[in-house]
Amino acid sequence: MPDFQEPKLIAGNANMPLASAIARRMSMHRGKPVNLVDARVERFNDGEIFVEVFENVRGEDMFILQSTSNPANDNLMELLIMADALRRSSASRVTAVLPYFGYARQDRRTKARTPITAKLVANMLVGTGIERVLTMDLHAAQIQGFFDIPVDNLYASPIFALDIKTAFKSRMNELMIVSPDVGGVARARELAKRINSPLAIVDKRREKPGEVAEMKVIGDVTGKTCLIVDDMCDTAGTLCKAAEVLMENGAKEVHSYITHGIMSGPAVERITNSVMKSLVTTDTIAATEAVKAAKNIRIVPTAPVFAQAILNIWNGTSVSSLFEADTLSPIYDGMYAAE
């Protein structure tokens, strides 16, 4: 057991429901109360962010819970300022728990004179004294190399596999995992292996960002129940069009499993009116009222796996053990049937 007395959680404003759920799950796992550290995160009239921590954190192992989702810049600044406040308050170690890591799509230079903002954000996090990052489904795995500190990247695919084996229990033999683009093949293949299903790819050609000129299906989806797997859904234009193309190619049904439900602009309306039977996403980004009200959008919790990952980091045990169904299923307390 480490020298730290207890793991302590502090949360920004990005996703308080998830932060509270993580604290509750940690209380269940430990058999003793784990509460969010009392603090205030406020704004001056000009928008400047101010943080004050009301509890003693000297020598403590601190975990900041904060997704850098919309508004990305405000939530990122909250995270940086909270980290600075904790370091100046003599916290022994500061870990940033980022269920959703914003700016991850800017992980390379696609054109001349463009930034690699994911690296810039990594530098900013390390510069504030953060010593470890815990996140879920980075847009590209190589982003871990942007940090000069340990990065634990959890995966949603083990949770999705449990959900699929429950939701599609009677028709597992007709499932087809679909990657919506070539870049997501590794993610889709991982889930396909977990549920022993074949894999198809939707090859898309973009004329400019946000617009898809052409889509073709690689693989035979005739008569299959297709499950599109991706790490994020922003405006849902590409996702809904991919679902249409799959149906045109003979698919029986189309469902989607998306880790980060960004759901910008017309996304919810598009999904509601699309040919998709359902879209399953996690709660790494706080759901809007429109998302909660959508009949074909379902949210699966990530608090159990984040709570256990935080405890594993605190007591020095394996985080990668959470990638296995035998470990994950008990954590979800019977929400999903064991294999």
Helix ranges, 38-184 (H): 72-88, 117-127, 157-167
Determine contact, residues 66/306, Cβ cutoff 8 Å: no
In DSSP terms, 97 is beta-bridged to 65, 134
Secondary structure of residue 170 in the 3-state scheme: helix
Tokens of 339: 């294999």
Distance set, CA 224 to CA 11, 199, 204, 275, 296 (Å) = 43, 11, 20, 15, 19
Q: Is the dihedral of CA 235, 237, 239, 244 positive or negative?
A: positive
Q: Catalytic pick from 8, 165, 169, 204? A: 204
Q: In what order do the strands lie in the sheet with 297-300?
A: 211-218, 199-208, 175-179, 225-233, 253-261, 278-282, 297-300
Q: Is 69 helix (H, G, I), strand (E, B) or coil?
A: coil
Active site (annotated) includes residue 224: no
Give dist(CA 258, CA 278) in Å, integer.
11
**How many angstroms separate the CA atoms of 171 and 187, rounded?**
22
User: In sequence order, what are the residues at sequence separation of 6 or more whose Cβ sits closer than 8 angstroms to the Cβ of residue 71?
Assistant: none
- Cα angle 27, 36, 25 (rounded to 5 degrees) comes to 25
Q: What is the H or E stretch that residue 176 is in?
A: strand 175-179
Q: Name the residues annotated as catalytic.
A: 204
